[in-house]
Amino acid sequence: MNAHVGPPQAINFRARSLLAFVLEPTEPVGEWLAGLDGWLARSPNFFAAKPVILEMAGLEIGLKEYRDLLGHLARRHIRVMAVENASRTLVGPHLPPAVTGGRAVETPLIAEREAPPAAGPKPREKAASLIVDANVRSGQSIVHSEGDVTIVGRVASGAEIVAGGSVHVYGALQGRVIAGVSGAPGARIFCTEGRAEMLCIGGAYLTAEDMDPKAEGRCLEARLEGDDLKIRILD
């Protein structure tokens, strides 16, 4: 009896580059977590459903403390996909894997890293700016680290825009905007109707509670002046 031998199965694989936010915990961890909570209070869903890498070069802790740290982050809806510069005792089964490489750009709170593909075709070049010709709904997050982001529409409360350069909103800005994550100090935020929950450039930020009530509903520009974020009314 001859056994039927089918054609060999093809194994398909592709390389994919992605953006990951890099968190750098420091000692004392409790104070670092308190600072993180202050950020999350203003942008509670910032890290939700986003890849996060822990940079461990500035932190020397044991395995128990490390597991506790991962637990604290998980309770804040931050899932760590990998670690960098961790000691060998902190890498193993049921723990995030170690990674190396990638192109990093630092900011005072977060960094973005693009991991290069290991194989496969050359990725398609992206435009320096991104234009979104629609409203950005609550819960939506638009991340474009390559350049400016222009929204032709409204950015609803609970929505989030993250840009490597400047952000332009031709409509009501009610959500959160983080500009200049590529490290560009000249990044700005413009909107035709300012009602933002938070504005941030280069780690300096203002929340709705911090903003001058005279600026509410006005055409605005936000820019860095030294280490401070300043708002200018344009209309």
Q: Which helix (H) or strand (E) holds 94?
A: none
Longest alpha-carbon distance in the chain: 88
What's the structural domain count of the chain? 2
124 belongs to a structural domain: no
Q: Is the same domain home to 168 and 105?
A: no
184 belongs to a structural domain: yes
Q: Is the same domain home to 135 and 208?
A: yes
Q: Is the same domain home to 191 and 108?
A: no
**In this structure, what CATH number is given to the domain that contains residue 105?**
3.30.70
Q: Is the pLDDT of residue 99 over 70?
A: yes
**pLDDT of 69:** 93
Instruction: Identify the domain boundary among 114, 137, 154.
Output: 114
Instruction: Round to whole Å and give the CA distance between 55 and 7.
Output: 46
Q: Exposed (0-12), middle (13-18) or buried (19+): which is 85, by Cβ within 10 Å?
A: middle
For residue range 59-90, what is the model confidence (pLDDT) as tens digits?
888 999 999 999 999 998 888 999 998 888 88
**In this structure, what CATH number is given to the domain that contains residue 187?**
2.160.20.70
Helices 63-75 and 29-42, axial angle in degrees (round to 10): 10
Instruction: Identify the domain boundary among 114, 147, 170.
Output: 114
| Dihedral angle of Cα 144, 52, 117, 183, to the nearest 10 degrees | 40
Mean pLDDT, residues 13-41: 81
Alpha helices in the chain (DSSP H): 29-42, 63-75
Q: Is the same domain home to 157 and 97?
A: no
Q: Is the same domain home to 136 and 44?
A: no
14 belongs to a structural domain: no
217 belongs to a structural domain: yes
Mean pLDDT, residues 156-169: 92
Q: Is the same domain home to 79 and 108?
A: yes
Radius of gyration over every alpha carbon of the chain, rounded to an integer in angstroms: 21
Instruction: Round to whole Å and give the CA distance between 231 and 112.
Output: 26
For residue range 163-216, what is the model confidence (pLDDT) as tens digits?
999 999 999 999 999 999 887 779 999 999 999 998 988 878 888 888 889 999
Q: Is the same domain home to 154 and 195?
A: yes
Q: Is the same domain home to 133 and 92?
A: no
Q: Is the same domain home to 94 and 133?
A: no
What's the gap between Cα 67 and its chain centre? 23
| Dihedral angle of Cα 60, 66, 71, 72, to the nearest 10 degrees | -10
Q: Is the same domain home to 97 and 187?
A: no
Domain holding 208, by residue range, is: 129-233
Q: Is the pLDDT of residue 158 over 80?
A: yes
Q: Is the same domain home to 86 and 138?
A: no
Instruction: Round to whole Å and give the CA distance between 61 and 7.
Output: 52
Structure pTM? 0.59
Instruction: Identify the domain boundary among 73, 90, 114.
Output: 114
Q: Is the same domain home to 63 and 156?
A: no
**pLDDT of 77:** 87
